[in-house]
A and B are shown apart, each in its own frame.
Chain A
Amino acid sequence: MPLIELNHVSKIFQTEEVETHVLSGVDLAIERGEYVSIAGPSGCGKSTLLSILGLLDVPTSGEYLFDGRRLDQLSLLELAQIRNQKIGFIFQSFNLIGDLSVAENVALPLLYRRVATADRDAAVAEALYRVGMGHRAKHYPSQLSGGQQQRVAVARAIVGKPPVLLADEPTGNLDSKNGAAVMALIHDLHAGGATICMVTHDPRYAEHADRTVHLFDGNLADRDGVLHGVGSAS
């Protein structure tokens, strides 16, 4: 049984006059421990797909099964629990909280998991050590470079040891050196058994993945560009 399974998932954004089909009947299965990259041109729906995978958004239609459970029947609380315990996020824009220290940012998932302070501090120290930011625990995000901020964001994503890691253009705001360092971290996490799903439009980094899924106008396509769904923007 795949860890993540999407069946005919569509996402339509509706404004007063325009209806935009961002995803059109996407079928996708990701196995436990797999490293999948999602590639495609700008505006093809990559980030929307990742948001749905990360339970940050809901599909307009279709079915999403996470670890065999249908998600459309879960309450807000249950969804929050899955996000907290099963999924880690790395955003392109880091999304660190400015008025929390590095350690407090990293501790966030454990805070909502009600982990005891001592255990939380130990886990945070370990995660920061792992990304090479242990010496910056008491700093604030504004005192860090972009590369350092993204490493903190990675630490936050992995501190709760979630089985799934979702990364949305994790190197998008980094120079090549820092980008490579972050990709190496993600590679190590995968090597440690994590299931990784990463959006990227950089072919160099897409190649790190076991499998690349191409999105085009809201549909999955194979390497040759053959569509596996029917949809269009109108």
Chain B
Amino acid sequence: MKALLLHELRSVLAAFRRRPLVPFIATSMLALGFAANVAVFTVISRTLLRPLPYARAERIVVPTLTFIGPGQAEDPGPAGSVELVQWKLRSRVFTAIEGVRDVYMTLRDRGEPQGIAGSTVTGGIFRLFGVRPIVGRDFAPEDDVPNARVVILSHGCWQRRFGGDANAIGRTIFLDGKPMEIIGVMPRGFEIATVDRQPEIFVPAGFSLANMPTPTSRGYHVFGRLRDGATLQQGRGELRRITADLGREYPATEQRLSADVQDLREAGFGKQRHALLVLWLMVAVVYVLACVNVASLLSAQIADERGITALRLVFGAGRWEIVRYRLLQTLITTLAGAVAGYALGRLVLRVVLANVADPKLTNPVEHVWVMPLFLLAVSLVTGIAVGLVPALRETRTRLTSALSEQSTRMSSSVRATRLREAFIVTEVALAVPLLLATAATIHQFRALQQTPLGFDTRNVLISQIVVSPKYDKVARARFARELIRRIEAMPGVETASTTTCFFTPGNTMTTSVGSDRLPEPMSVNLRRITPHYFRAMRMPLVAGRAFTDGDGVDAPPVVIISASLAKRLYPNENALGKRVLRAPPAAPATIVGIAPDVYDEGASVELQPTYYSPYLQTNNIYITIVVKTKVDPLTLREPVRRAVWSLDRDVTPSNEAALADLMHDAIGNERLQMQMLTGFGLVALLLATVGIYGMTSYAVASRTREIGVRLAFGATPRDVIREIVGRAVRSVSIGLLAGALLSLVVQRVASALIYAGAKLEWQSVVAIGAVLFAAALVAAAVPSMRTRAVQPVWLLREGN
């Protein structure tokens, strides 16, 4: 038995050596299919499948605050300090509720101050996650007080800045000018699930019921740990009740709020899931296309080797031996494809993720055995699925007909012809929805790229600073005015301004406003700007005036609102000169200008009604400096830094970038998705084209004798070409029709998933149809053209 198996293995390998083209093509096609799977499965395993690095992570949930504005859907967002503290105090379903808020800090240790991503956290956050510092200690209750002077470092920060020195514990660093003692270091790989930019440093928030920061100051990522036996629904219900009570108790600030609670994995990877599901679906189709190609190749090979199989049966091979031989053949092919696909997939992933900053995607896979096991399983299933059916059919070979077919062979059987046509139809039908989805995504991305943002991104430098909390409102206004004066005095600067917009998607300040016509408040984007903002951004006002230096703390409150907000607040009226009602204690403000609607968070974020307030009147510690330059904006990075430091050595500019680059990066996720979809689409197109070409050429080759017969009975070469090409065109047409119907079904069933609102363009349908038709036409026309050059008798003989 073992000897027989070895003999068969040797003969399979010998057959591969004798006729390497078929196994090479089959392996290559499978490798492409596997590579696509490896790339996507790796990303999925690093995100959706990876176990969360927290103790009993299934008990951790993510409460969010939802705003119920007039005519607005509930939009979950970060909670504020009031909600966080009240939820903590009043909840019975949770054993702990803690919060994390992103902050930019200026760190001064040795040398120049540096901007650093940090977090203010409530004291029990690490205990909630069940993670302890690996060096030093956790925050104690007495640390979580106002003006706390202790910090915990991330593992990365500890390694980079202190070389992993355990003696860093107890050292003092300066954060925003304040001395802070390092008390601990978090373990390697610790991250906060829902936070995009992982903090390097953790500082206690230090607030309580007695010491509450500004009530409207929201931005806390809240985490809760459910009591044993409590469900997510119970948690949600409880937080909604508490939030409703808060609305009654604090109507000025907590009205129209509600709460939601999400599963931690959903909250952390919900956004990626959509993109990954799309990619997974696409690679599945790509893989099926590869399998269809291999199956068609194998069928063709089995048909060619019918005589050999018959001889093996004559000499005593049993049914099982025939099946085993074929299965060995396909399994070796699929395993080789899996190995090659694994290598190719890793390479592709490395190239694609080279510019991706998301640590969730670039982290190494934790279970390295998952991928090889996955590939082994898929290749075995594929080998059996692709090889078994034709192998079983092969065992039913009629010996007499197989051995005598040399003399009385019919050119092609109905079943063989239908099988070949079915392969082509399947290839096309599967490829079409995938290619259309790719085309739609590319089209959508191109539209995104070409979306007029509403401002001029050229020659604008963006730089972010966090003004030290030691400044009060008046001092911050003075700081901003002086900073802008100094920057505008620099050579190469046309004008400068500040804003509180970060120019990145999903990172925005909001507030609630109403009007005399709209007493119910609505949520709007809030931008606190200095007078030259619209000039620096080249945003001509629709009506009214820009802010001036006169719009200061002591001046009457004024605002500029976007055109869409003007329509909402004062429908069918001129909003200029009218009032905007703001959350108390802020007094109503007069509308002095109407600004155009702009995509200042990038083209992928929907246009939001926006409210501009003079920074000199209402401000906070976050400032984004906007510098319109006459030169390359990045050349002014250092001069701007020096201008900031000339005012305060403890304020450090960070995230300096050209506005054009920020807007380019703002659609980075869409770009990555588009690139991956395009890659898989191209692979699908390649597989479909190769498959159609291969099957059509094989069909023409197997009809050589038929062509001879047709010529013998009076067909002209033109008739023959028409007949052959016509058949190929018919198969591709049926496939295109089936593919178009499939696309409609897919679009109807999963339009949000596949097309994400993108419209199918008729140009894409025509282009895809043309490529597939071209493949079929070339494959059919080239061999059929031979009929013009050779005598019919040769075709009759060749068919033997």
Binding site for B on A (CB under 8 A): 51, 54, 56-58, 76-77, 80-81, 83-85, 89, 91-99, 108-109, 112-113, 140-142, 146, 149, 156, 160, 172-173
Contacts and interface: CB of A to CB of B under 8 A. Distances in A.
Contacts of B306: none
Given A56-B711, A80-B719, 19 more contacts: A51-B793, A56-B793, A57-B791, A76-B788, A80-B716, A80-B717, A83-B711, A92-B407, A94-B410, A95-B712, A97-B410, A97-B411, A98-B412, A98-B416, A108-B709, A108-B710, A108-B713, A113-B714, A140-B414
Interface in B745-800: 788, 791-794, 796, 800
Contacts of B412: 97-99
A95 B714 contact: no
A56 B719 contact: no
B714 A109 contact: yes
B15 interface: no
Contact of A80 (B417, B705, B714): B714
Contacts of A113: 714
Contacts of A56: 708, 711-712, 791-793, 796
B791 A58 contact: yes
Given A109-B713, A112-B719, A146 B408 contact: yes
A173 B407 CA distance: 8
A54 to B, nearest CB: 7
Nearest to A84: B714
Contacts of A140: 413-414
Contacts of B407: 92-93, 172-173
A76 B719 CA distance: 12
Nearest to B414: A99
Contact of A93 (B409, B418, B794): B409
22 contacts: A56-B791, A57-B792, A76-B716, A76-B788, A77-B716, A83-B714, A94-B408, A95-B410, A95-B796, A97-B706, A97-B709, A98-B411, A98-B417, A99-B413, A99-B416, A109-B713, A109-B714, A112-B714, A112-B719, A140-B413, A141-B410, A156-B713
A172 B404 CA distance: 13
B715 interface: yes
Contact of B711 (A80, A91, A96, A173): A80
Contacts of B794: 57
A108 B711 CA distance: 10
A197 to B, nearest CB: 14
A81 B719 CA distance: 12
Interface string B415-426: 011100000000
A36 to B, nearest CB: 19
A149 B792 CA distance: 22
A84 B417 contact: no
A95 B793 contact: no
Nearest to A101: B414
A95 B411 contact: yes
Contacts of A99: 412-414, 416-418
Contacts of B796: 56, 91, 95
Contacts of A95: 410-411, 705, 708-709, 712, 796
Top-5 shortest CB links A-B: A84-B714, A98-B410, A56-B793, A99-B417, A57-B793
A141 B411 CA distance: 10
Contacts of B788: 76
Contacts of B414: 98-99, 140, 142
Interface in B380-421: 407-414, 416-418
Contacts of A57: 791-794
A146 B708 CA distance: 20
Nearest to B715: A112
A89 B411 contact: no
Contacts of A93: 407-409, 800
Contacts of A97: 410-412, 706, 709-710
A83 B713 contact: yes
B80 to A, nearest CB: 74
A114 B655 CA distance: 78
A77 B414 CA distance: 30
Most buried by A among B410, B417, B796: B410
Contacts of B714: 80-81, 83-85, 109, 112-113, 160
A85 B719 CA distance: 16
A77 B714 CA distance: 9
Nearest to A75: B716
Contacts of B713: 83-84, 89, 108-109, 112, 156
A4 B605 CA distance: 84
A226 to B, nearest CB: 29
Contact of B413 (A108, A142, A173): A142
Nearest to A77: B716
A69 to B, nearest CB: 17
Nearest to B707: A97
B785 to A, nearest CB: 13
Interface string B572-616: 000000000000000000000000000000000000000000000
Contacts of B408: 93-94, 146, 149, 173
Contacts of B409: 93
Find the residue from B407, B708, B709, B788 having the highest chain A CB count within 10 A.
Answer: B709
A113 B715 CA distance: 9
A95 to B, nearest CB: 5
A92 B413 CA distance: 19
Contacts of A141: 410
B468 to A, nearest CB: 85
A184 B156 CA distance: 97
A227 B705 CA distance: 35
A188 B186 CA distance: 102
Contacts of B418: 99
A198 to B, nearest CB: 16
A54 B416 CA distance: 30
Contacts of A83: 711-714
A85 B796 CA distance: 20
Interface string B719-746: 1000000000000000000000000000
Nearest to B792: A56
A227 B788 CA distance: 36
Contacts of B717: 76, 80
A89 B791 contact: no
Interface string B692-714: 00000000000001101111111
A180 to B, nearest CB: 19
B200 to A, nearest CB: 71
Contacts of B413: 98-99, 140, 142
Contacts of A77: 716
